[in-house]
Amino acid sequence: MRIQRAVIREIPLELREYFEISSGGTRARRAVLLTLECEGVEAWSECVAGETPGYTYETTDTAWFVLTRWLLPALVGTEFEDGRRLHPVPWLRGHPMARAAIEMAGWDLEAKRRNVSLARLLGANRTAVPVGVSIGIQKTDDALLERVEGFIAEGYRKIKIKIKPGRDVEMLSAVRERFPDAPIMADANSAYTLDRDLSRLQAMDHHDLMMMEQPLSHEDMLDHSLLQEQISTPVCLDESIRSPGDARLALHLQAGRIINIKPGRVGGFGPSIAIHDACVEAGWPVWCGGMLESGVGRAYNVALASLPGFTIPGDISNSRRYWARDIVSPEFEMVGGMMPVPDGPGIGVTPDVERIEAMTVRKEVFEA
């Protein structure tokens, strides 16, 4: 098949609430949406790069640049056998989020061409996946307790609490005291170091957390391994895992016990499956993380999370948790803590093209 046309758009999406992590906060996403057209089929994907290089080095602007300068010009007009393997510029290093936007759109294209859902194309057969919610750093412990209570009442099966030095040990004990049995975990987004913060990290070992996500540097696999030897709470890696090679290294070094897979962070579905398979073989559970996606990106996360190794609830929350109104229909809405996996062709949800077009702040079209 031949990709005839590609359209890249940026739309602003205001979050219903400010979302703060240890490296900074977000009020609105600058979402990058990609459309590929091929023999009457239209595929959609979302590039999940952040507004700032505070999570990984990629940003909305670097991804836009790499996509429009190299990836999309090479993509249009080329013949492909299987949409699941779109790698238009094999020599291009890094920039996994930019590459993933194309790789994942290829999966939607292939699924729609075969008239099957993304989940089916992945070989998964679960009809719903367990989900949780990620809570940004709140101004006060009381505000956090209120949020936790609300989300537990809504049925979320994992409550992830963002932490940073000074908003950690005491805050987590307050949550644990108030909700003795709640499935809570912490995510530090690399805010700690082993030599400075070991005792603080060990103090958090007593809160019966499901896991401690990415406590140390995004570049320090060895220190995560040394930390895991000294705490009993499972360490979960997020930023540290940028490829299947990183996952193999983490497994080899025992740099944790759990991996959070975000398909954008690792370059798409292909690498996500490779990481999933390596973890299943090693006996490590995985779960699907989130990047505050619109419904387009969320559809990919839900499909990926339907693979069997995704045994821990993902950061895949209701559309309403993020947006006043999502850009797809139907919106994502869980039932009893489970997100139904769309079963229509491809991503299984329909982007509201008219509204997206009206919201678009920049757009480039590539034609064969």
Q: How far is the CB of 88 from Mg ion (least distance, A)?
A: 29
**Tokens 């080899």 -> residue:** 252
Neighbours of 363 (CB within 10 A): 12
- Considering beta carbons, is residue 75 or 137 the nearer one to ligand OSB? 137
What is the pattern of x (binds Mg ion, CB under 5 A) and - over residues 164-203? -----------------------x----------------
What, of Mg ion, ligand OSB, none, does residue 192 touch, CB below 5 to 8 Å by kind? none
CB contact set of 177 (below 8 Å; sequence gap of 6+): none
Encode 119-177 in three state secondary structure: HHHHCCCCCEEEECEEECCCCCHHHHHHHHHHHHHHCCCCEEEECECCECHHHHHHHHH
What, of Mg ion, ligand OSB, none, does residue 268 touch, CB below 5 to 8 Å by kind? none
- Considering beta carbons, is residue 144 or 212 the nearer one to Mg ion? 212
What, of ligand OSB, Mg ion, none, does residue 38 touch, CB below 5 to 8 Å by kind? none
- Considering beta carbons, is residue 4 or 311 the nearer one to ligand OSB? 311
Task: Tell me the H-state helices in the chain.
Answer: 60-66, 72-75, 96-114, 118-122, 141-154, 169-178, 194-203, 221-228, 244-253, 263-266, 269-282, 295-304, 319-322, 353-359
Cβ-contact 205, 227 below 8 angstroms: no
| Site residues for ligand OSB per CB under 6 A | 21, 55, 134, 187, 189, 238, 289-292, 315, 317
Q: How far is the CB of 335 from Mg ion (least distance, A)?
A: 26
User: Is 158 among the catalytic positions?
Assistant: no
* Residues of this chain, 208-247, that bind Mg ion according to CB under 5 A: 213, 238
- Considering beta carbons, is residue 110 or 213 the nearer one to Mg ion? 213
What, of ligand OSB, Mg ion, none, does residue 294 touch, CB below 5 to 8 Å by kind? none
Residue 250 in 3-state DSSP? helix
Name 340's bridge partners.
Answer: 128
- Considering beta carbons, is residue 11 or 292 the nearer one to ligand OSB? 292
d(C-alpha 35, C-alpha 123), whole Å? 24
Q: How far is the CB of 24 from ligand OSB (least distance, A)?
A: 10
**Annotated catalytic residue: which of 112, 139, 162, 164?**
162
Q: Output the CA–CA distances (angstroms, integers) from residue 216 to 157, 204, 224, in the order listed.
A: 25, 14, 7
What, of Mg ion, ligand OSB, none, does residue 339 touch, CB below 5 to 8 Å by kind? none
Q: Does 46 bind Mg ion (CB under 5 A)?
A: no
**Annotated catalytic residue: which of 112, 158, 160, 262?**
262
Q: How far is the CB of 189 from ligand OSB (least distance, A)?
A: 5
DSSP string, 205-242: GGS--S-EE--S-TT-HHHHHHHHTT-SSPEEESTT--
Name 133's bridge partners.
Answer: 159
User: Is 262 among the catalytic positions?
Assistant: yes
Q: How far is the CB of 314 from Mg ion (least distance, A)?
A: 12
User: Closest residue to ligand OSB, Cβ-based?
Assistant: 290
Judge residue 195's burial from the number of C-beta atoms within 10 Å of its C-beta, 0-12 exposed, 13-18 middle, 19 or more buried. Answer: exposed
Q: How far is the CB of 79 from Mg ion (least distance, A)?
A: 38
Instruction: Name the site residues for Mg ion (rule: CB under 5 A).
Output: 187, 213, 238
* Residues with catalytic function: 162, 262
